[in-house]
A and B are shown apart, each in its own frame.
Chain A
Amino acid sequence: MTSPAPDASTVRVAPKARLQWDEVRQRHVLLYPEGLVALNETGADILALCDGTRTVAGIVTSLQQRYGVEGVQQDVTGFLEALAAKGLILFEGG
């Protein structure tokens, strides 16, 4: 089961995973042992913000400013929790 993202913790891509541009398919991918997740633009933007300095709330704020939209909280949390369940991102501290 997915563990809920704790508010106060920072988020980073797990050491076993690597965010990368796939030139052939013109999209970002998250590579990990024996697998990969294909990302759309928003997903890639979210992961680029998972650098170990921001909290989930911080990431939400950055995205809302960048896109000029509100209410992305739930989508971002869902996306991150699904990746956390696969051990691809880590919540630290908090």
Chain B
Amino acid sequence: MTPQPLWLLAELTYRCPLQCPYCSNPLEFAGARFRNELGTEDWCRVFREAKALGVLQLGLSGGEPLLRADLERLVAAAHEVGLYTSLITSAYRLTKDRLAALRRSGLDHVQISIQAADEELSNYIAGTASYGDKLAAYRWTKELGFPLTVNVVLHRKNLHQVRDLIGLAESLGAERIELANTQFYGWAFHNRDALMPTRAQLEEGWRVVQEERGRLGTRLEIVWVLPDYHEQFPKPCMGGWARSYMTVTPAGEVWPCHAAGRITTLKFANVREHSLEWIWHHSDAFTKFRGDAWMPEPCRSCPRKTVDFGGCRCQAFLIAGDAGVTDPVCSLSPHRHLVDDAVAEVERTAAAEAGEWVYRAAPNSRALAAKG
């Protein structure tokens, strides 16, 4: 029996005032494929269809979802059908009035990113002066009674701040802090050499997390998203391909994960032409890697295949050039040497701070797309 989805990530727009070099959005986000954004009615229909399919959790994301003038209406529509709604935002130029309006519309949870613990580094990483807006928005989020998640993407330039970041979340009264080690898709893959931390940095970060968990107990949930290049086995991507999760992109394409659009060998259906139900059950992108019939060796005969589902298809495509092979991060993969090489290169050059990143910005997106 086909599983029923639980999670839907609605990427409402790829416009964003920030320029984080690790953004998981597609490199070609500024191109024609993503520009023709769905209207209010389209999204409301998507939410209704998602709920009827079994979805319970809705993430409203982007780009920057606050740039949608109809965000309050979208939240209200999602709330009305009974979805638990999370706003995933940079909080840039957010006002307390707007946050209060979102609360009245039925928004359940607010997740606000921050790029570092101090203003200078945070603004530098974001490529936009945004730290002050974020701190104000954190306070309003709590004042208005929302549960608050602080989200930080970790990489070479901010991993030394793990303790300060946890301290910041604690002082804000946040329920959760997500310390997400960079996953190398989209812009992060392009900027991999500039972002990848050293093994020593990761070990220290993980040590601090364990210490802080002991100190804080249940007062603050500290989520540590594993840096999979440095692990022995891949992460169970999205709990298995097309098992519980889907992403709807700004122009209506539906992907089994938020990085899947990069896989050129898959065909993606659009909510403008098909119902979400048809897409979930029948579209090429969702059926191709569902279950385990597609698996090659070494996954096919591996006892871990029910644990990690062969790892991430997007990573297999990005690193090995074939979405249908074992995740190259797996130590049993014949492509693991490609990952080891990338890690070794960072160990070799990190001391010299080699590698600058390219900011996620529309002109850079167009330039990269032109290069092909």
Contact = CB atoms under 8 A, between A and B. Distances in A.
A34 B86 contact: yes
Q: How large is the interface on A (under 10, 10 to 19, 20 to 34, 35 or more residues)?
A: 20 to 34
A15 B145 contact: yes
A34 B149 CA distance: 10
Given A20-B56, A33-B108, A33-B147, 20 more contacts: A15-B147, A16-B108, A16-B109, A16-B147, A18-B108, A20-B84, A22-B56, A24-B53, A24-B54, A25-B4, A25-B54, A31-B56, A31-B108, A32-B147, A33-B109, A33-B149, A34-B57, A34-B86, A36-B56, A36-B57
Contacts of A34: 57, 86, 109, 149, 176
A29 interface: yes
B56 A29 contact: yes
Given A24-B52, A31-B84, A1 B217 contact: yes
A12 to B, nearest CB: 14
Interface string B337-360: 000000000000000000000000
Interface in B274-297: none
25 contacts: A1-B217, A15-B147, A16-B109, A16-B175, A18-B84, A18-B108, A25-B4, A25-B54, A31-B57, A32-B84, A32-B147, A33-B86, A33-B108, A33-B111, A33-B149, A33-B175, A34-B57, A34-B109, A34-B149, A34-B176, A36-B57, A84-B218, A85-B218, A86-B218, A87-B175
A3 B217 CA distance: 11
Interface of A: 1, 3, 15-16, 18, 20, 22, 24-25, 29, 31-36, 84-87
B225 to A, nearest CB: 12
B205 interface: no
Interface residues of B, number: 21
Interface string B80-101: 0010101000000000000000
A17 B53 CA distance: 22
B6 interface: yes
A89 to B, nearest CB: 12
Interface string B43-57: 000000000111011
Contacts of B53: 24
Please provide the 10 A-B residue pairs with the shortest distance between their CB atoms, ordered closest to farther. Answer: A16-B147, A24-B54, A31-B84, A33-B109, A33-B147, A85-B218, A24-B4, A33-B149, A31-B56, A87-B218
A32 B218 CA distance: 15
